[in-house]
Amino acid sequence: MAKGMGNGFPIGGILIAPSIKAKFGLLGTTFGGNPLACAAALAVLEVMEKENLMEAASQKGKYLIEALKNTKGVKVVRGKGLMIGFEMETGLEDIRKVLLNDYKIFTGEAKPNVIRLLPSLSISSSEIDLFLKGLFDASAQISNKAN
């Protein structure tokens, strides 16, 4: 939670269940109470609220997940919002390399055939479509080389 809250600026954060009453000495923090970190986090949270980024991430994530489920070469899609992982079919193990080298699209990896997506909450619909086109083209490129 804290990485997103600081948007790259180091800050710590914790969520506590209502049944646990916070009291002095209960918790310690690495970055606790730093005025600059708190100002950075407050600015990020204000932008997230003002631009409705959480709802937008939910809607864009649904769109992306559905598009991935209907993409040739994609076996399984998991995720919520814009935190998405999808497994590619056997034979497409090099798709991350092709996406990066040929299409300049950087993705994460969980296993050789699983691609992780963690885009910015401010990603645009056109950027999502650009990614989907790159994925489609890279998959076709690999399949054509195999044949």
Helices (H), 27-77: 35-50, 53-69
For residues 25 and 11, membership in a common domain is answered with yes
Q: In whole angstroms, what is the distance from residue 70 CA to residue 73 CA?
A: 9
Q: Tell me which residue of 80, 77, 110, 78 sits closest to 93, measured CA to CA.
A: 110
Lowest mean pLDDT among 26-35, 76-85, 108-117: 26-35
**CATH number of domain containing 95:** 3.90.1150.10
pLDDT at 27: 67
Q: What is the pLDDT of residues 83-141, one digit of tens each?
A: 999 999 999 989 999 999 999 999 998 877 899 999 998 899 999 999 999 999 999 99
Average pLDDT, the chain: 90
Q: What is the pLDDT of residues 55-68, one digit of tens each?
A: 999 999 999 999 99
If one compares 56 and 8, the residue with the highest pLDDT of the two is: 56
pLDDT at 93: 87
Is residue 32 scored above 70 in pLDDT? no
Our count of domains for the chain comes to 2
Lowest mean pLDDT among 13-22, 66-75, 100-109: 13-22
For residues 42 and 68, membership in a common domain is answered with no
For residues 76 and 106, membership in a common domain is answered with yes
Lowest mean pLDDT among 20-29, 124-133, 137-146: 20-29
pLDDT at 142: 92
For residues 123 and 138, membership in a common domain is answered with yes
Expressed as residue numbers, the domain containing 67 is 53-146
Provide CB contacts within 8 A for 85, sequence distance 6+. Answer: 77, 78, 79, 110, 114, 115, 116, 117
